[in-house]
Amino acid sequence: DIVMTQSPDSLAVSLGERATINCKSSQSVLYNSNNKNYLAWYQQKPGQPPRLLLYWASSRESGVPDRISGSGSGTDFTLTISSLQADDVAVYYCQQYYRTPLTFGGGTKVEIK
């Protein structure tokens, strides 16, 4: 199975500042034949189901604000919130879909400092 490891477990950022979340896979999730990274990011707020933010590592889902972006390739990925807003307080998860079983990172909780 591909193990997804997120860091940090939690972080507190001031409003308007940058938040950075890391996700590392135990093996590459880059599919060479199409040069795509099989990685997605989700946001989950308390009492709600997860919401898709990014897929193919950096493609933004419709309706996701452009302050949220994704980068990385192979085994190392980053989700960045360029200017943290109160609405961004949530737990963020990465997920690989390179192969089954599909696996998630352990989550990163983002709070306001």
Partner 1 sequence: EVQLVESGGGLVQPGRSLRLSCAASGFSFDDYAMHWVRQIPGKGLEWVSGVSWNNNSVAYADSVKGRFAISRDNAKSSLYLQMNNLRVEDTAFYYCAKGVTQYQLLYFDYWGQGSLVTVSS
Q: Is the dihedral of CA 13, 90, 106, 20 positive or negative?
A: negative
Q: Is 92 in the site for partner 1 (CB under 8 A)?
A: no
The yes or no reply on residue 49 touching partner 1 (CB under 8 A) is yes
Of 58, 60, 61, 73, the one binding partner 1 by CB under 8 A: 61
**One-letter amino acid for residue 22 of the chain:** N
Please tell me whether residue 105 binds partner 1 under the rule CB under 8 A.
yes
The Cα–Cα gap between 22 and 66 comes to: 18
32 in contact with partner 1 (CB under 8 A): no
- Distance separating alpha carbons of residues 108 and 23, to the nearest angstrom: 10
Q: Which of 13, 40, 68, 84 binds partner 1 (CB under 8 A)?
A: 40
Judged by CB under 8 A, does residue 103 bind partner 1? yes
Nearer to partner 1, 74 or 97 (CB): 97
Q: In whole angstroms, how close is the CB of 32 to partner 1 at the nearest point?
A: 17
CA-based torsion, 74, 75, 80, 86: positive or negative: positive
The residue within the footprint of partner 1, chosen from 51, 64, 74, 78 (CB under 8 A), is: 51
Q: What angle do CA 70, 38, 98 make, to 5 degrees?
A: 150
